[in-house]
Amino acid sequence: MKPLNSEAFWQFACRLYDEEGMQTRLLGYQNQQGKNVNVCLLLYYLDSLELALNESQLNQLELCIGEFDQQVLKPLRTARAYLKANQSEIADYTTIRKELLSAELKLEKQQQQMLIDSVNTCTLTSNPKADNLKLYIR
C-alpha cells in the first residue's frame, strides 16, 4: 500500500467537515462521547479509500495523539470557550478569537499529520464496505 498523504487527508477533512450536518455530528461525538474529531475524519477518509483498520490499530491511533490532544488542543478549546463566555470583559475579543481559531486550525492540521504518520505504519485491509467509524463510535 502506498503511504497516505497528509495534505490529501487535510483537503478531504475540510470538504467533509463543511458538508451539511457533519460539523454538528462530529462535535456531538466529541462533546457527548469524548471522541476525537480528527480520528473520526481519518476513519471516514479510510472508508473513502476502501481501507479498513482493526481495533488494535485504532487504539494505536488514539495513543499517538492522546498527549497532544490533552496538553495542547483541549486546553486551547477551553480557553476559547472561556473567552467567548466572557467576551464583554475581553478587550479586542474579536481579534483574539480570530487568532486563537487560526492557531487551533494549525494544531488540528498537525494532529492530522500525526495520525497519518501513525496509520502509515499499519497494514490496512482492503474493504469496499469499510465502516471504520463503527469501531470507534459504539
pLDDT tens figures, 84-95? 999 999 999 999
Q: Determine the 3-state secondary structure of 78 from DSSP.
A: helix
Identify whether the C-beta of residue 58 lies closer than 8 Å to the C-beta of residue 134: no
Chain position carrying cell 462521547: 33
Domain-located, residue 1: no
Q: What's the pTM?
A: 0.93
**Total of domains in the chain:** 1
Domain-located, residue 44: yes
Identify whether the C-beta of residue 83 lies closer than 8 Å to the C-beta of residue 93: yes
Q: Domain of residue 18: give its range.
A: 6-136
Alpha helices in the chain (DSSP H): 6-18, 22-33, 37-48, 55-68, 74-85, 93-119, 133-136
- What is the gyration radius of the CA atoms in the chain, in angstroms? 16
Q: How far is CA 32 from the centre of its chain?
A: 15
> Tens digits of per-residue pLDDT, 39-74?
999 999 999 999 999 999 999 999 999 999 999 999
